[in-house]
Structure 1
Amino acid sequence: MGANYLKIAFRNLVKNKVYSFINIFGLSIGIATCLVISLFVKDELSYDRFNEKAVRIVRIVFKANINGGKINESFVMPPTAQALKNDYPEVKQATRLRNFGTPRVIVDGKFYNEGKLALVDANFFDVFTIPFLKGDPKTALTQPNCMVLSQALAEKYFGNEDPIGKLLYSKKGNDTPPFRVTGVFDKIPTNSHFHFDMLGSLASDTEANSTSWMTSNYFTYLLLTEDSDYKKLEAKLPAMVEKYMGPQIIQAMGMNLAQFRTKGNELGFELQKLTDIHFHSEGTNELEASGDIKYVYIFGAIALFMLLIACINFMNLSTAGASKRAKEVGVRKVLGSAKLELVRQFLMESLLLTSFALFLALILVPLILPVFNDLSGKNLSLDFAANPLTFVGLLVFGLLVGVLAGSYPAFFLSSFKPIAVLKDRFVGSKKTIGLRSGLVVFQFCVSICLIVGTTVVYQQLSYIQNKKLGYDKDQLVVLQNSWALGKNESVFRDELLKDSRVANVTASPYRPAGPTNSNNSLAYPENNDSQIMRTLQYGIDERYIPTLGMQIVAGRNFTKGFASDSSGIIINETAAKAFGWGNNAVGHTITRLVGDANDNRKKVYQVVGVVKDFHFKSLHESISPLLMVYENNWGLIVKVKTKDVAGLLASMKSQWAKFNVDEPFEYAFMDELFTKTYIAEQKTSTILSLFAGLTIFIACLGLFGLATFTAEQRTKEIGVRKVLGANVGQIIGLLSKDFLKLIVVACVIAFPFGYWGMNQWLQDFAYRIEISWWVFLVAGVSALAIALLTVSFQSIKAALMNPVKSLKTE
């Protein structure tokens, strides 16, 4: 019986080639897209879960609110880990990590500048699951100046030689002791919130032993006992603040914690689950860019909707074509077929079609994945050999899709009354037609929402790119590693200033876009420590403001040779408002805490100028108070005034080579660094556009099929109308108007959902567009135009048919 069902199913599939192709192709795209997005969602949700003790690992973060200035730091103070381990029995292990970026490494006289370095405590491998290939993870980092390498980096540095015992130098000719390789670990999985190629002993870091609770640089993780609740431990942390931070706050600020809090200030610690870091981290100075759970929801919804739309196409085309199979059902019932047997027959056809679609989807996925990986920055793959359960899951998935897509048509077709259909009295019920209309409305609701979303994302990105930032990001060349020149950096700068193609050069590692130094400062106005606040501090020279095209709105810029400028300070407009001075900040004084809790040093500055607010953070964040002090710094920023940028860069590289430094000449453009800040949004825009196009395409496939069936069912009517004088335009309008009404209904439903969804997305930006009415007009007109083009093909074909031939069809 099963073989007979299969044979009949295959014959029907071949008989209706066009509709079978539409179903198979549309369903395959839906399944392929769903599989690709499922891989993305699975990867995002799996972050840090590879650690065997992941459910027991938490990270401690520091949060404070000082005079309205919010602090949310992902790293904490040096003694925090040991204090937690000593005072709280539920803390089984406490380990720290300090990020040292990408240092220059020297191995056997060769220079490398590729691997990322972190210094970690010796018990780091007791907390995190990082497989060791060589060495003993328990003892590898117990001594100072020891280091373990990733396998890839060990092979790069030492080839086929055994790396254990080899020496790595951080700088040529430096007296700093070299690191000795004591182990090799496997690559840290991609779904980790940190990635390092070198892990050195934190015992090498003198600051790691500091007792100061006023400075913070150490990412601190806790491994809790199996029966502990991290929320209960978090509730005990205020006692740690009182015990350890309280005395140092008195020494640094001259007030106790109670007095500090009565002024509206607050500070303390929170615990964050390891598995929450990727999505729910709000701290500054994260080790890597965090994910966004909103995008997981968005892409997951798109995957589900695309699959539903593909299944809807199947149901629509199957029920719309019911009239062609009505007599078949009638004959089968007269000959004794039970309803259940007919259901099995039609489900078999559905599963056969789904099997073809699944097979085609498995061909499409490897073609789609490289493009998707490039857009998303992932390295996803559909590897059945590595995970056989994936193949089993895929088969179950195909079975469910087949049943989902074919269940309604199967029960619908099997319910026909044999007498009615054999007497040609079968007509589609209003209930069935209403269902098909509802499904078409649903398809285009999703499509219109995606059009609205794509348009709003594009608008926001365009707004970001064109917004006035308060500085001129164009024609700025950043030399990030000019520190390698040492004392010759100023000589190199002076040589650049002699070049007629160079407008200006400033030396500062503080940049409003891209990688930059970060230096927070505690400061208060006019010796009034009750108004102490946390601010960002820039160290600049007298050329910084003019080089970056900033504007002084009050007072003056720093001047070379003014001895008093060593105690002068320039602040931004936001800082002037925060200190209560408004437009009269010049001449007032600011006291900065420049030491730590051990020396309690303070320095008083006089405000010499106010710079117009400029954006030195992402537009996701509001402009915060900023202090600028006059300091000698490294890191050059060059303002170019020539179209021959390539020639200037070649000249700069040639001059760089004359100083015979080991560091290569490297540069970046400020506008490109700014653009990279929003790379996640740009990728999202591209992916959203791609999925919107695919969703609309699948919806149009179904609409095309329905239009074809409608034209076939009304062939005789069209012939009669043409004989009575109807022209082509009238016929097209007749066949198109019902579908266009459905699109209008879809617009009315989709617009509120589209507005709400994109308004939620825009809340992540402190500076954002307002969603304009024309966005919905464009989405609606686009959907109507797409639907009209889809339907018109069959409408025109039917309208141009010879009426004599049309009247003979029945």
Structure 2
Amino acid sequence: MFKNYIKTAVRSLYKNKGFTAINILGLALGLATCLLIVFYVVDELSYDRYNTKANRIYRVNEDLKLGENNVQYAVAMPPLAKTLKVEYPYIEDATRIKNAGTTHVKKGNINIVENRVGFVDASIFNVFTLPMISGEPKTALLEPNTVVLTESTAKKYFNTTDAVGKTIVFNEKENFKVTGVIKDVPKQSHFNFDFFVSLESFPDSRSNEWLRSDYNTYVLLKDAKDHTKLEASFPAFLQKFSGSQMQSELGMSISQFEKSGSHFRLNLTALTDIHLKSNRSGELGPNSTTQYVYIFSAIALFILLIACVNFMNLSTARSSNRAREVGVRKVLGSSRKYLILQFLAESILVTFVATVIAMIAAAAVLPLFNQLSGKEIVLTVESLKWLVPSLLFIILVIGSLAGSYPAFFLSAFQPIDVLKGKLSAGFKGGDLRSFLVVFQFFVSILLIIGTLVIYNQLNYIQTKNLGYNRNQVLVVQNSSELKDQAKVFKQELAELPGVKSATMTGFLPTNGWRNTRIYFKDASFDQKKSLFPQSWEVDADYIPTMDMKMAAGRNFSKEMMTDSSAVILNEAAAKFLGFSDPINKTIYQSSGGDRKGSAPNVKECHIIGVVKNFHFNSLREKIEPVVMTLGQNSGALGIRVSTTNITALMGQIKDKWNSLSPGVQINYSFMDQDFDASYRTEQRIGTIFVIFTSLAIIIACLGLFGLAAYAAEQRTKEIGIRKVLGADVSVIVGMLSKDFIKLVCIAIVLASPIAWYGMNKWLQDFAYRITIQWWVIAVAGAGALVIAFVTISFQSVKAALANPVDSLKNE
């Protein structure tokens, strides 16, 4: 019997090849798109879950509010991890990680720039799941100058994973013994180091400073439920260990600090929440956000619904043509149960074929999707364990839903009514189909408006005046490698033809290097008059090289010795301090006291200038206060070039570099590229959004195309009569199109306010954003109408041009 159902289903589907092809293509396209998004969402949700103890690992964060300044850190104090483990018996272990930044690693006669180097405690292997291939995890990092490599790094430097006992050289002079090789850290990790260097090699790691934050600190609890108890104990813990240093630094106790409206607090973030729910200062890598997971999940659901709606629409439309078949089958003795099973078999068969095609298409397109999304998703046996059952469930659900209308509705017809022709089903009678068409274009218009808003916001980011000129600026990222020769390098480059100016500092607008200090408006050290700004050490060439503009006062001068105690504020800092005219005013920098109960040591700083606000964070964030001081910081070198022959100039720069630092690779980039990299996530999201929106529209149009063909087929004789009576092509096209266009107009009216509201909510994440203009809604609506009309017109014009003799000759 089952074999007969399949055979009959295949024959019926083959007989209507056009509708079957549209059904399979639309559903396969929707399922393939949905699968890709599901892969993306699953990948985002899987971060750090490779750790077997993930549910018991928490990161300790620090929140600092000083006056009106509020800063959230992902890092904490140097002695915190060790102290927590001693103080709380329900903490099984604790560990710290510190990003080492750019490091040069010697391989043969060359130095390779590595950016994935981390200083870690020996206890890292007790907390995180980092399987060791060779070496002993308990003792691997107990001694100074020891390092554990990942498997791929060991192969890169020693052509083998058996690297234990070998020596690796950092920064030309520091020899480290390889004491272990671990498997590569999974891509779905909030840190991805290739070198795990013992923190015992870093003297600062033994610091007892409780008011300095620069270590990512993690605790492993014996019971995950204890995290609430641990958080509740933090105020007393800080009072015990930070109180005396707070008194020394600010001249007040923690309780007095809290009463003044400020606070200094610790809190916890679950390890599995870091990637999607944490965006603090000092993160070990760029994190994502749950917002994009929700957006893409909604898009996947919408596209799947559009594809299913297409399937149901075309199935219900075609089912009316099979009323006579149902009548004949019943007359010949077929029961309603067998008719229901027959229709469901056809529907499930189409869904099965579409799902197989979708799976093959998704696997084929996955490498391209990875390139667009910045992911490295691969289909593994583990992923197939949940994917195959999910697809089987989808086949049954979609197939049953799409086949339910013809199965239960048509099978209930009385044969005598059907065979007498009492049951007719033109397009106008299809209320369900009308609702489904409205739904399809409702979703499509939502996506079109969303795409336009995202595109305009990204364009705004790219074209906004940032307060500095990022074009034609070359950045040498590792100029600190030159040490005492860095200043000489800068001077020699400034004399090259094609170099306009150069500045030596690590505090560039596109760099991640940041520093903060406490300043007070006056000598009363009132926290309500305090400032906790970015503190940037720059040289006198910084402002002209960055092409920044002064709002008041002057730039630093090499000729004026008093500028060593001078500062330049940005407009945000000047506004925060409330000076009507900040020039020549004095602010006070806290540098800590020398004994318990003493007033803070201070440095008087006179304001010589105010630079216009410039963006150095994402446009999602407001411009923070910045205080610039004059100094020699060799963290990076910014070079403004004024030549079109960049290749020749780069050759000269490399020659200068090699003469001063032979064997060390120069690490450089262009500032506009660094800027673009900071918005790479938004750009990728925008590109993917455009692609998925286009696919959603194509799927919707496939369904509309099929329905238009069905409507034209149902009204063939009416069209023939109208043509005989003198109707021209435009009249017939309009007659066939108006019902569909009316439905699209309803979708526009329903979708526009919802899309406007939703995209306004998305824009709220940007401190600097566009305003959604009326024309965005108008363009989206007009675009949907044009797309729908073009889709419908193909079938309408074809029907209108047909010879009426052919449609009327059997009457």
Rate the CA distance shift 1:91–1:384 in 2: closer, same or farther, 3 A.
closer
Report the more deviating stretch, 388-397 or 677-686.
Answer: 388-397
The answer to whether structure 1 residue 527 and structure 2 residue 528 are counterparts is: no
1:145 shift after superposition = 1.6
Report the equivalent of 1:345.
342
In structure 2, C-alpha distance between the alignment counterparts of 1:596 and 1:467, rounded to whole Å: 44
* Alpha-carbon spacing, 1:608–1:96, altered in 2? closer, same or farther (3 Å): same
Partners of 2:286 and 2:463 lie apart in 1 by 24
Partner of 1:191: 188
Q: Which amino acid aligns with 1:114?
A: E
- Give the Å deviation of 1:525: 1.6
User: Which secondary structure state, in structure 1, belongs to the residue aligned with residue 29 of structure 2?
Assistant: helix
Structure 1 equivalent of residue 468 of structure 2 = 471
Map of 2:438 onto structure 1: 441
Alignment of 1:337-376 (within 5 A): 337-376=334-373
Question: Which residue in 2 is equivalent to 1:539?
Answer: 537
Count matched residues.
805
Match of 1:789 in 2: 790
More displaced, 384-393 or 154-163? Answer: 384-393
Corresponding residue for residue 277 of structure 2: 280
Which residue does the alignment assign to 1:708?
A: 709
* 1:104 lines up with 2:90 in the alignment: no
- Looking at structure 2, the residues matched to 621 and 110 of structure 1 have their Cα atoms a distance apart, in angstroms, of 41
Relative to 1, partners in 2 of residues 1:660 and 1:738: Cα closer, same or farther, differing over 3 Å?
A: same
* Cα separation, 1, equivalents of 2:329 and 2:524: 94
Which of 297, 300, 303 is matched with 2:300 structurally?
303
Q: Which amino acid aligns with 1:679?
A: R
**Match of 2:518, as an amino acid?**
L
Match of 1:94 in 2: 94
Residue 9 to residue 208, structure 1, CA distance change in 2 (3 Å): same
Normalised TM-score (structure 2): 0.96
2:364 partner letter: L
C-alpha distance in 1 between matches for 2:552 and 2:322: 84
Alignment of structure 1 residues 115-514 onto 2, 5 Å: 116-160=116-160, 162-172=162-172, 174=173, 176=174, 178-226=175-223, 228-384=225-381, 387-428=384-425, 433-513=430-510
Structure 1 letter corresponding to 2:627: L
Q: Contact 1:715–1:809 (CA<8 Å) still a contact in 2?
A: no
Residue 659 of structure 1 and its aligned partner are, at CA, apart by 2.5
Q: Which amino acid aligns with 1:451?
A: I
* 1:563 matched to 2:561: yes
The C-alpha deviation readout for 1:125-156, integer Å capped at 9, x for no partner, is 11111111111111111222211110111111
> Per the alignment, in what secondary structure is the counterpart of residue 781 of structure 1?
helix
CA shift digits 1:709-728 (9 cap, x unpaired): 10010011111111111110
User: Whole-Å Cα distance in 2 between the matches of residues 633 and 788 of structure 1?
Assistant: 63
Assess, with a 3 A threshold, how the Cα gap between structure 1 residues 744 and 764 changes in structure 2: closer, same or farther: same
1:675 corresponds to which residue? 676
Residues 795 and 755 of structure 1, relative CA distance in 2, 3 Å threshold: same
Q: Quote how far apart the aligned CAs of 1:198 are.
A: 1.0
In 2, Cα distance between the equivalents of 1:387 and 1:623?
Answer: 47
Q: Distance in 2 between matches of 1:254 and 1:603?
A: 15
Worse-matched range after superposition: 718-727 or 496-505? 496-505
- Sequence identity percentage: 47
Match of residue 586 from structure 1: 583
How many Å separate the matches in 2 of 1:626 and 1:15? 73
Aligned 8 A contact 1:248 1:597 in 2: no
- The 8 Å contact of residues 522 and 592 in structure 1, kept in 2 or not, is answered as yes
Alignment of 1:29-68 (within 5 A): 29-68=29-68
Residue by residue, what CA displacement relative to the aligned partner does 1:660-679 show, whole Å, maximum 9, x if unpaired?
Answer: 42222332111111111111
What secondary structure, in the 3-state scheme, does the structure 2 residue paired with 1:628 have? strand
How far apart in 2 are the matches of 1:436 and 1:266? 60
What residue in structure 1 maps to residue 548 of structure 2? Answer: 550
Change (3 A) 1:692 1:436: same
Find the aligned partners of 1:34 and 1:95 in 2 and give their Cα distance. 40
Residues 699 and 227 of structure 1: is their aligned pair in 2 closer, same or farther, counting only changes over 3 Å? closer
The residue that corresponds to 2:728 in the other structure is 727
Cα distance change on mapping 1:655 and 1:724 into 2, 3 Å: same
What SS is found at the alignment partner of 1:658?
helix
Distance (Å, rounded) in 2 between the aligned partners of 1:446 and 1:540: 52
1:774 positional shift: 0.6
754-763 or 71-80: which moved more?
Answer: 754-763
Deviation digits for residues 158-194 of structure 1, max 9, x if unmatched? 113731111122132x3x5x22111110011111111
Aligned to 2:513: 517
User: SS at the partner of 1:76?
Assistant: coil
2:615 aligned with 1:615, yes or no? yes
Farther off after superposition, 477-486 or 124-133: 477-486
The separation in 1 between residues aligned to 2:810 and 2:482, in whole angstroms, is 88
> 1:335-355: per-residue Cα shift (whole Å, max 9, x none)?
232222111101100111112
CA contact (8 A) 2:538 2:630 kept: yes
State the shift of 1:444 in Å.
0.4
CA contact (8 A) 1:309 1:443 kept: yes
Following superposition, the deviation at residue 75 of structure 1 comes to 0.4
Q: Which runs of 5+ in 2 are unaligned?
A: none
Question: Is the CA contact (8 Å cut-off) linking 1:480 and 1:667 kept in structure 2?
Answer: yes
TM-score (norm: length of structure 1): 0.97
Alignment of 1:564-713 (within 5 A): 564-582=562-580, 584-594=581-591, 601-634=601-634, 635-713=636-714
Q: CA deviation at 1:203?
A: 1.6
* Aligned partner of residue 395 in structure 1, secondary structure: helix
After superposing the two structures, state which structure 1 stretch, 16-25 or 59-68, moved more. 59-68
Q: CA deviation at 1:457?
A: 0.3
Q: How many Å apart are 1:432 and its aligned residue?
A: 6.0
Distance (Å, rounded) in 1 between the aligned partners of 2:261 and 2:696? 52
Once residues 264 and 779 of structure 1 are traced to their aligned partners in structure 2, the CA distance between those partners, rounded to angstroms, is 49
- Whether the aligned pair in 2 keeps the contact of 1:90 and 1:228 (CA below 8 Å) is no
Describe the SS at the equivalent of 1:211.
Answer: coil
SS of the residue 1:61 aligns to: strand
SS at match of 1:233: helix
> In the aligned structure 2, how far is the partner of 1:598 from the partner of 1:364?
70
Residue 408 of structure 1 deviates from its aligned partner by 3.0
Q: Distance in 2 between matches of 1:329 and 1:106?
A: 80
Q: Is the 8 A contact 1:526 1:588 kept in 2?
A: no
Return the alpha-carbon distance in structure 2 between the equivalents of residues 404 and 383 of structure 1.
31
